[in-house]
């Protein structure tokens, strides 16, 4: 596996770490409703922002360059993102048609982007900026009506009490000082703050479990404790964990990193696709945190096609942006948000609140369905006709644009639709209404 955003590859296929599933866990009504809401949203924007943006080399910089945590912390003293404007961020993100934002509250570098009493190493106490950007963002999200999710790293490259795992070996932590009990209390205090001071939160998105191997003696992730704390503090807050494994009880979302569910091109998603709401996270360029040498952005057409493909699997797309050190979003990202918004205004009906259809994905593209309406997303050039395997009876077939009826013939396995015109479109959509 080679990923642009990090130097060292870790074994993503390792099985889960000392984790005991809570076999007694039963999701509450509020939680089940929240899963449904989440599952209808289909598009979210991921934000990876921290003091790492100052180095311009992505969020794994500290690990990749073996930066001592005391040296790394000096960046906090220079962190003054004077162009940060939460209202502008939310407006631009909402404009894309996204229904939620997931932001890094604390990444692997250990720096908290919110005002926390659990450690002075946070944006309010350790930077000249002194503003709680998570508070400003949560206020803007709530006033503009978009859901907010919090990314939260389970691993920490800067704390002595976190037991060193597979990564962060060159950041200056002294072996032997770890104390998982103390570290767990720290995480619980922070999660309590995150779920008490920022209004209603849509989900906590954990990451970093893969830092410890499943068979590691004497190590145990306190997931039950963390999950039950979350469910108790905000019953409608969902739990996601980017552990690249099948979900365990207490989790509400199954995550796929850089892959459409069921595929494993990036090498992080070999797990079977389960029954929980699904979410694929992917970057607009090739990096999560701001990377000044990564200007290779996906085109809006590529993003639209990825969105159609994730929706076709019944999954949400969580599309990442790495804000710049001054607090603004890169112009290339803003452009894609605007273009996505134009597309979603016109075609969102074929994406939001849909599910995977009985047709699945075909050689010409994916399909989505709502009730008796199936949307064929034709992403590839065709020679004028497409075969659609279908058991259900068809009422009518027409183009989504202009509602032009299309001729079709019955075949042994379904229907063949004629006069398909695809050139020049990101996604030529044909509607099949079932009887």
Q: Which residues in this chain contact ligand JFZ in the complex, by CB under 6 A? A: 9-10, 12, 48, 59-60, 207, 210, 242, 257, 268, 281, 288
Cβ closest to ligand JFZ, residue 38 vs residue 52: 52
User: Taking the complex as a whole, how short is the minimal distance between the CB of residue 107 and ligand JFZ, in angstroms?
Assistant: 6
**Cα 405–406–411 angle (5° rounding)?**
140
User: Taking the complex as a whole, how short is the minimal distance between the CB of residue 135 and ligand JFZ, in angstroms?
Assistant: 22
Cβ closest to ligand JFZ, residue 102 vs residue 429: 102
Q: Residue 398 in contact with residue 406, Cβ under 8 Å?
A: yes
User: Taking the complex as a whole, how short is the minimal distance between the CB of residue 322 and ligand JFZ, in angstroms?
Assistant: 10
**DSSP β-ladder status, 315-321 and 355-356:** unpaired
Q: Residue 211 in contact with residue 139, Cβ under 8 Å?
A: no
User: Taking the complex as a whole, how short is the minimal distance between the CB of residue 189 and ligand JFZ, in angstroms?
Assistant: 22
User: Taking the complex as a whole, how short is the minimal distance between the CB of residue 244 and ligand JFZ, in angstroms?
Assistant: 6
**DSSP β-ladder status, 394-399 and 428-434:** antiparallel
Cβ closest to ligand JFZ, residue 11 vs residue 411: 11
Burial (CB count within 10 angstroms: exposed 0-12, middle 13-18, buried 19+), residue 404: exposed
Cβ closest to ligand JFZ, residue 208 vs residue 366: 208
| φ, ψ for residue 362, nearest 5 deg | -110, 180
User: Taking the complex as a whole, how short is the minimal distance between the CB of residue 183 and ligand JFZ, in angstroms?
Assistant: 18
Cβ closest to ligand JFZ, residue 303 vs residue 432: 303
Cβ closest to ligand JFZ, residue 319 vs residue 376: 319
User: Taking the complex as a whole, how short is the minimal distance between the CB of residue 180 and ligand JFZ, in angstroms?
Assistant: 20
How far, in Å, CA of 250 to CA of 286, rounded? 31
User: Taking the complex as a whole, how short is the minimal distance between the CB of residue 324 and ligand JFZ, in angstroms?
Assistant: 17
Which residue of this chain has its Cβ atom nearest to ligand JFZ in the complex?
A: 12
DSSP lists the bridge partners of residue 433 as: 373, 396
Cβ closest to ligand JFZ, residue 53 vs residue 242: 242
User: Taking the complex as a whole, how short is the minimal distance between the CB of residue 161 and ligand JFZ, in angstroms?
Assistant: 20
Cβ closest to ligand JFZ, residue 171 vs residue 362: 171
User: Taking the complex as a whole, how short is the minimal distance between the CB of residue 370 and ligand JFZ, in angstroms?
Assistant: 30
Cβ closest to ligand JFZ, residue 96 vs residue 287: 287
User: Taking the complex as a whole, how short is the minimal distance between the CB of residue 184 and ligand JFZ, in angstroms?
Assistant: 20
Q: How far apart are the first and last CA of the chain?
A: 46
Cβ closest to ligand JFZ, residue 60 vs residue 364: 60
DSSP lists the bridge partners of residue 204 as: 150, 239
Cβ closest to ligand JFZ, residue 247 vs residue 414: 247
């Amino acid at each position: 596996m080679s990923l642009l955003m990090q130097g060292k590859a870790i074994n993503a296929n390792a099985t889960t770490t000392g984790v005991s599933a809570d076999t007694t866990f039963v999701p509450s009504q509020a939680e089940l409703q929240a899963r449904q809401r989440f599952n209808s949203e289909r598009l979210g924007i991921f934000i990876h922002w921290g003091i790492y943006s100052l180095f311009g080399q992505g969020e794994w910089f500290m690990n990749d360059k073996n930066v001592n945590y005391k040296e790394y912390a000096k960046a906090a003293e220079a962190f003054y993102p004077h162009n940060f404007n939460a209202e502008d961020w939310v407006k631009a993100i909402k404009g894309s048609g996204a229904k939620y934002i997931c932001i890094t509250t604390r990444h692997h570098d250990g720096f908290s982007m919110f005002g926390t009493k659990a450690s002075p190493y946070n944006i309010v106490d350790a930077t000249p900026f002194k503003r709680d950007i998570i508070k400003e963002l949560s206020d803007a999200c709530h006033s503009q009506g978009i859901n907010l999710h919090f990314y939260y790293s389970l691993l920490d490259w800067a704390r002595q009490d976190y037991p060193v795992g597979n990564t962060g070996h060159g950041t200056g932590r002294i072996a032997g000082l770890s104390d998982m009990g103390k570290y767990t209390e720290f995480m619980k205090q922070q999660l309590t703050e995150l779920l008490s001071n920022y209004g209603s939160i849509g989900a906590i998105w954990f990451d970093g479990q893969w830092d410890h191997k499943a068979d590691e003696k004497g190590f145990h992730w306190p997931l039950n404790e963390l999950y039950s704390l979350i469910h108790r503090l905000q019953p409608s807050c969902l739990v996601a964990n980017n552990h690249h494994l099948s979900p365990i009880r207490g989790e509400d979302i199954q995550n796929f990193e850089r892959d459409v569910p069921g595929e494993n091109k990036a090498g992080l998603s070999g797990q079977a696709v389960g029954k929980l709401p699904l979410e694929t996270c992917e970057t607009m360029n090739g990096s999560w945190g701001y990377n000044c040498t990564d200007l290779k952005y996906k085109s809006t057409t590529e993003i639209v096609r990825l969105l159609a493909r994730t929706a076709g699997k019944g999954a949400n797309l969580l599309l990442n942006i790495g804000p710049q050190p001054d607090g603004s979003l890169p112009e290339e990202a803003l452009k894609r948000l605007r273009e996505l918004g134009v597309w979603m205004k016109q075609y969102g009906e074929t994406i939001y609140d849909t599910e995977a259809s009985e047709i699945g994905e075909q050689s010409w593209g994916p399909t989505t369905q709502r009730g008796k309406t199936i949307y064929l997303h034709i992403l590839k050039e065709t020679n004028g006709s497409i075969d659609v395997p279908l058991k259900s009876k068809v009422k009518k077939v027409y183009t989504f644009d202009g509602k032009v009826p299309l001729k079709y013939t019955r075949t042994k396995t379904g229907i063949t639709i004629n006069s398909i015109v695809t050139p020049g479109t990101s996604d030529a959509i044909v509607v099949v209404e079932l009887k």
